[in-house]
């Protein structure tokens, strides 16, 4: 028995069988369904196999993550970087012709599966260079032109730490080259994937071929993530322009949006803005340097309202400058009362009860960003929150620069019952600590509490 056989036997668990169903769990139901399909005629055999593979993945906790994109976007290079060494072949011409599944293993190995009934071909190697040479004979157009060898897919075992967490990385044939069968091969195996990374680059920008491919991909992969590659040589301004162009093309031409990820805009996923307008307020005007425009507070409010009608924006924080009290009053009257958007004051209030009281009196917002280490004490923070409650305003418990991994803020946010916390993106330990604590609190409280969303007039 070779290495790959041992790994697969260890991973597979109990053999698939309809004789011992496990009706109380999903793996058992999949096993039962697969067994019933096998009992039908041969035309259902491939469906039974797909259900069996899905059950295996579920039992083993495997997450299939494909890397997609046009040829020469850097898919194989990205995967090599994730593995920490050069394993997959790379070249200056379109290369990958066969899907390559990279799974966890204690040592380097590879197995080639064929379309016909031939036995798989295995390779146990000592170095990544040897593995790359072996793979080149099967997964490249040079070594296997137009897949004359009849390869179905290739499995690679690698000891990379990322793979040990249950991730299976998948290198895919580049689409859009003169090798049309590469595009077809990629589309055919996509239903096996849980999610996909789609690589594009700034130069050249996304092409019509990629847009057309994306239109087909949307129905085959439930989760799509985009990576803008090869941007290290761009200036900040050019990088931002490339991102904006990519976003426009994805939404307006490729139809990629929140819905494409399986969520409903405004219900499952919404947008909260923090323009930090004080940072671009100069000489009495809001200086939008990229467009070369200077806008008044009325024009800024009109701009935000235009966005609100187009996108599921439910909250705007610091949409105007910190001393623009008159602008905030108009801002709130228009966006807050008419459009039911949460208007959050941060720089204008600085968690100070005197400023919050003025804001309530003048109608300068309808919510406050609450920062414990801004006002200085828990007692003063609670007084600020009490003012918000008395006025019927929302409040958002927020982190601030200089945060540590102390997770008290998560407990405080739940205890105050405002329903909102702002602690940054899901990265970096001082932020993750708060999210982990929220998960612990949810687990501890269980059914004793209920969670509802407090925006769009649902406070």
Q: What is the pLDDT of residues 124-135, one digit of tens each?
A: 889 988 998 898
pLDDT digits (tens, 9 = 90+) for 393-434: 999 999 987 888 999 999 999 999 999 999 988 778 888 899
- Reply yes or no on whether the pLDDT at 385 is more than 90: yes
- Which residue has better confidence, 220 or 258? 220
- For 340, counting Cβ atoms within 10 Å of its Cβ (0-12 exposed, 13-18 middle, 19+ buried), the class is middle
Instruction: Indicate the domain borders of the chain.
Output: 16-60, 63-261, 271-448
Closest CA to 83 of 192, 189, 9, 170: 170
Alpha helices in 283-377 (DSSP H): 297-310, 325-331, 353-362, 372-375
Among 46-55, 82-91, 305-314, which is the least confidently predicted range? 46-55
- Reply yes or no on whether the pLDDT at 179 is more than 70: no
Question: Is the whole model's pTM more than 0.85, yes or no?
Answer: no
Looking at the domain 271-448, which fold is it? Answer: TIM Barrel (3.20.20)
- For 18, counting Cβ atoms within 10 Å of its Cβ (0-12 exposed, 13-18 middle, 19+ buried), the class is middle
Helices (H) then strands (E): counts for the chain:
15, 17
As a whole number of angstroms, the distance between CA 4 and CA 131 comes to: 14
Give me the pLDDT at residue 97, please: 65
Contact 412, 397 (CB under 8 A): yes
Strand order in 167-171's β-sheet?
A: 121-124, 109-114, 151-158, 100-104, 167-171, 63-69, 195-201, 224-229
- Which residue has better confidence, 202 or 57? 202
Question: What does the mean pLDDT of the chain come to?
Answer: 82
Q: How confident is the model at residue 175 (pLDDT cuts 50, 70, 90)?
A: low
pLDDT digits (tens, 9 = 90+) for 48-57: 777 777 777 7
As a whole number of angstroms, the distance between CA 459 and CA 312 comes to: 17
Phi-psi map region of 318: left, alpha, beta (phi>0 left; psi -120 to 50 alpha): left
Most confident of 74-88, 195-209, 273-287: 273-287
Among 26-40, 167-181, 433-447, which is the least confidently predicted range? 167-181
Give me the pLDDT at residue 262, please: 65
**To which H or E segment does residue 59 belong?**
helix 45-60
As a whole number of angstroms, the distance between CA 289 and CA 144 comes to: 52
- Reply yes or no on whether the pLDDT at 2 is more than 50: no
Most confident of 216-220, 273-277, 282-286: 273-277
Give the residue-averaged pLDDT of 75-89.
Answer: 86
- Which residue has better confidence, 5 or 353? 353
Q: How confident is the model at residue 447 (pLDDT cuts 50, 70, 90)?
A: confident
Give me the pLDDT at residue 316, please: 96
Task: Provide the CATH number for the domain formed by 63-261 in this structure.
Answer: 3.40.50.300
Per cent of the chain over pLDDT 90 is 31
Q: How confident is the model at residue 25 (pLDDT cuts 50, 70, 90)?
A: low
Among 53-67, 91-105, 173-187, which is the least confidently predicted range? 173-187
Q: How confident is the model at residue 178 (pLDDT cuts 50, 70, 90)?
A: very low
């Amino acid at each position: 028995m070779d290495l790959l056989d041992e790994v697969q036997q260890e991973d597979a668990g109990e053999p698939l069988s309809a004789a011992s169903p496990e009706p109380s769990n999903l793996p058992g139901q999949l096993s039962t369904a697969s067994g019933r399909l096998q009992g039908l005629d041969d035309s259902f055999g491939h469906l039974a196999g797909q259900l069996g593979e899905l059950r295996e993945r579920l039992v083993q906790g495997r997450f299939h993550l494909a890397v997609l994109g046009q040829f020469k976007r850097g898919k194989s290079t990205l995967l090599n970087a994730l593995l920490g060494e050069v394993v997959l072949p790379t070249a200056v011409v379109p290369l990958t012709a066969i899907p390559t599944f990279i799974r966890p293993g204690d040592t380097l190995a590879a197995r080639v599966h064929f379309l016909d009934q031939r036995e798989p071909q295995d390779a146990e190697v000592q170095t990544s260079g040897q593995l790359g040479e072996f793979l080149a004979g099967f997964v490249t157009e040079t070594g296997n032109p137009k897949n004359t060898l009849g390869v179905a897919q290739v499995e690679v075992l690698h000891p990379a730490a990322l793979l040990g967490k249950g991730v299976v990385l998948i290198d895919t044939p580049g689409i859009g080259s003169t090798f049309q069968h590469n595009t077809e091969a990629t589309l055919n195996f996509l239903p096996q994937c849980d999610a996909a990374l789609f690589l594009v680059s700034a130069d050249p920008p996304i092409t019509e071929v990629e847009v057309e491919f994306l239109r087909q991909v949307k129905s085959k992969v439930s989760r799509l993530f985009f990576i803008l590659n090869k941007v290290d040589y761009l200036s900040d301004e050019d990088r931002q322009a490339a991102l904006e162009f990519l976003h426009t093309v994805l939404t307006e031409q490729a139809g990629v949006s929140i819905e494409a990820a399986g969520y409903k805009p405004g219900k499952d996923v919404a947008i909260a803005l923090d323009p930090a307008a004080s940072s671009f307020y100069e000489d009495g005007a809001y200086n939008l340097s990229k467009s070369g425009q200077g806008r008044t507070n009325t024009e800024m409010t009109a701009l935000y309202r235009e966005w609100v009608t187009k996108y599921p924006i439910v909250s705007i924080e610091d949409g105007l400058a910190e001393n623009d009290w008159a602008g905030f009053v108009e801002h709130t009257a228009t966006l807050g009362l008419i459009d039911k958007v949460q208007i959050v004051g941060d720089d204008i209030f600085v968690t100070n009860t005197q400023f919050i009281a003025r804001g309530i009196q003048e109608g300068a917002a309808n919510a406050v960003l609450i920062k414990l280490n801004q006002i200085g004490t828990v007692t003063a923070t609670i007084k600020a929150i009490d003012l918000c409650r008395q006025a019927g305003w929302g409040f958002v418990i927020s982190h601030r620069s200089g945060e540590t991994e102390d997770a008290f803020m998560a407990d405080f946010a739940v205890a105050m019952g405002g329903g909102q916390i702002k602690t940054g993106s899901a990265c970096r330990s001082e932020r993750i600590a708060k999210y982990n604590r929220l998960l612990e609190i949810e687990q501890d409280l269980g059914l004793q509490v209920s969670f509802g969303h407090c925006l769009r007039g649902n406070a």
